[in-house]
Chain A
Amino acid sequence: MLKTRVIPTLLMKDMGLVKGVGFDGWRRVGTTLPAIKVYNRRQVDEMIVLDIAATKDDRGPDVEEVKLFSTDCFVPLTVGGGITNLDHIKGLLRAGADKVALNSICYENPDLVQQAAEVFGSQCIVASIDARKTSEGEYECYSHCGSKAQGINPAKWAKILEEKGAGEILITSVEKDGLLEGYDLDLIAQVVEAVKIPVIASGGAKDYEDFRLAIQESGAQAVAAASLFHFTEQTPLEAKNYLSKNGVKVRQI
């Protein structure tokens, strides 16, 4: 049977600021590429690389960079950030991405999901949804890296994007993200409940037990984390050992 995936997420963000120089293409790779190499060597189940500054900076994805990443990546690679049209998707898939993640553009042009699914197949179109809890305790979708409220409930939005042809949903809690305090399990459960395609839980995982909860309590098919792997001693391999002991089927390497 299908194994539950443990996915490290790599976020590329505001690199121009970090380095303080205009010509930043190669240096950026200098930070992301080694991480990709390490995860590749450790045979992670999959990697998600998101350029979270692209949409805000009003630019498309950096295809050349993805080409470099894929040279050293022999596990599945999902790439997102700044995608607004079919040419971007074509370029990324050609460069070595296995799947693409669409987020902000979906609100402006939901039909892009449908067109992309028709041309490239649903299986490589990941709909990425960022959500926050409102003061009334409801959830609301946000675009543009969590900055722009979209006035729609993430479970409803996930259902719409599934109908348009998305093959997977990546659901991220904006306010939990990076806190290492645990996933928003309700949010994940609501999205899982709404769709019949795989859901990847994201945003806030603090430990392996969080992964188990997202999978066994909320019903996610995959768990993604960034800070947990970057800033703590925890590893995807240990996570899978923990999950396996707790009855979750994972890929053994």
Chain B
Amino acid sequence: MSVDIIDYGMGNLGSISSALDHIGVASKIVSSPESLKTATHIILPGVGSFSKAMQNLSEGGWCDAIRNAVEHNNASLLGICLGMHLLSSTGTEHGETTGLGLIEGNVVHFKTNAQVVEEGVLVPHVGWNEVAIQKKDDPIFQDIKEATDFYFVHSYYFDAVNEDHVLARTPHGFPFPSVIRNGKVWGAQFHPEKSGPAGFSLLKNFVGV
């Protein structure tokens, strides 16, 4: 097993590798797309804006490397927060930007959602909120109780096109997709590396798939 955390200049890499260390999983932070050829599990972190992140990914030659790893080398991929957003078809943060296209959907601001505006919930969505699991059999949720709180910090959400891709939702004005999956590609809107024991379980489950 080889767990690679992608360093494209936009992530809280230290937190993720510390969390993996904590659960006894060896990982490496990789700064060259070549490394992904041997990866079995890839984590795409991200703090920042969608457009800047995609610019960094494409300038660094990551886009094809990530797609190849998933599509041809059978690697599993977990996108966290902005990393989840980048899996989409398009993002709308600071202009429309094409995403990696691994899970069909658009990343939009909470305030573009009528229910969010109507309910008057605050944006950014910051803090602990429950994750309502829709696909309980998914291995990513092993040992995680229904409605466990995870830590969120974001203003945009992943509007999935295909409901089959939505594994869990979280209420903030409306139930937005908080965990998504397409084949061997998972996305989590919350930060498992900052969500205590439940977050550790999710990371453990991911490296176990």
A and B contact pairs by CB, cutoff 8 A, 7 listed: A3-B128, A72-B18, A74-B194, A75-B195, A119-B48, A122-B124, A196-B122
- Report whether A168 and B14 are in contact in the complex, using a CB–CB cutoff of 8 Å: no
What are the residues of chain A within 8 A of B13 when measuring CB–CB?
94
The one of A45, A93, A97 in contact with B127, judged by C-beta atoms closer than 8 angstroms, is A45
Is B49 in contact with A120, judged by CB distance below 8 angstroms? yes
A235 CA to B195 CA in the complex, in Å?
19
Q: Which residues of B contact A95 (CB under 8 A)?
A: 14
The answer to whether A98 and B14 have CB atoms under 8 Å apart is no
Having A2-B122, A77-B194, A99-B153, one finds 13 other A-B pairs with CB under 8 Å, namely A45-B127, A70-B18, A73-B15, A74-B19, A75-B194, A94-B14, A98-B47, A120-B48, A121-B82, A122-B124, A124-B153, A221-B126, A251-B128
The interface residues of chain A lying within 8 Å CB-to-CB of B49 are 118-121
The answer to whether residues A2 and B12 also contact, given A120-B49, A123-B155 and a CB cut-off of 8 A, is: no
CB closest residue in chain A, given B197: A43
Q: Is A222 an interface residue (CB 8 A)?
A: yes
Residues of A whose CB lies within 8 Å of any CB of B are 1-5, 43, 45-46, 67, 70-77, 93-99, 118-124, 167-168, 196-198, 221-222, 251-253
| CB–CB A251/B19 < 8 A | no
Q: Mark B1-35, 1 if CB is under 8 A from A, else 0.
A: 00000000001111100110010000000000000
Known A-B contacts A118-B49, A121-B82; the reply to A98 vs B122 at CB < 8 A is no
Q: How far is the CB of A206 from chain B (nearest CB, A)?
A: 24
Q: Are A123 and B126 in contact (CB under 8 A)?
A: yes
Of A3, A98, A123, A252, the residue contacting B12 (CB under 8 A) is: A98
Leading 5 A-B pairs by shortest Cβ distance: A123-B124, A251-B128, A96-B14, A251-B149, A3-B128
**Which residues from chain B contact A5 at a C-beta distance below 8 Å?**
127-128
Residues of A within 8 A of B122 (CB): 2, 196-198, 221
Question: In the complex, A74→B199 CA distance in Å?
Answer: 9
Q: Is the CB of A67 within 8 A of B14?
A: yes
Number of interface residues of B (CB under 8 A): 40
Chain B's closest residue to A40 (CB) is B196
Contacting pair B12 A76 (CB below 8 A): no
Given contacts A74-B193, A75-B196, A120-B49, contact A98 B153 (CB under 8 A): yes
A125 CB to nearest chain B CB (Å): 9
Most chain A beta-carbon contacts within 10 A, residue among B14, B82, B126: B126
Considering residues B15, B155, B196, which has the most beta carbons from chain A within 10 angstroms of its beta carbon?
Answer: B15
Q: Are B196 and A168 in contact (CB under 8 A)?
A: no
**Considering only CB atoms, which chain A residue lies closest to B193 in the complex?**
A74
**Chain B neighbourhood of A96, CB < 8 A:** 12, 14-15, 18
Task: Determine whether B94 belongs to the interface, using a CB cutoff of 8 Å to chain A.
Answer: yes
Q: Report the minimal beta-carbon distance from B84 to chain A, rounded to whole angstroms.
A: 13
Proximity string of chain B (66-105) to chain A, C-beta cutoff 8 Å, 1 when within and 0 when not? 0000000000000000100000000001100000000000
Contact B196 A76 (CB under 8 A): no
Q: List, in ascending order, chain A residues with CB within 8 A of B154's CB.
A: 121, 123
Q: How far is the CA of A123 from the CA of B50 in the complex (A)?
A: 13
In the assembled complex, the Cα of A119 lies from the Cα of B193 at a distance in Å of: 22
- Contact for B52 among A119, A168, A252, CB less than 8 A: A119
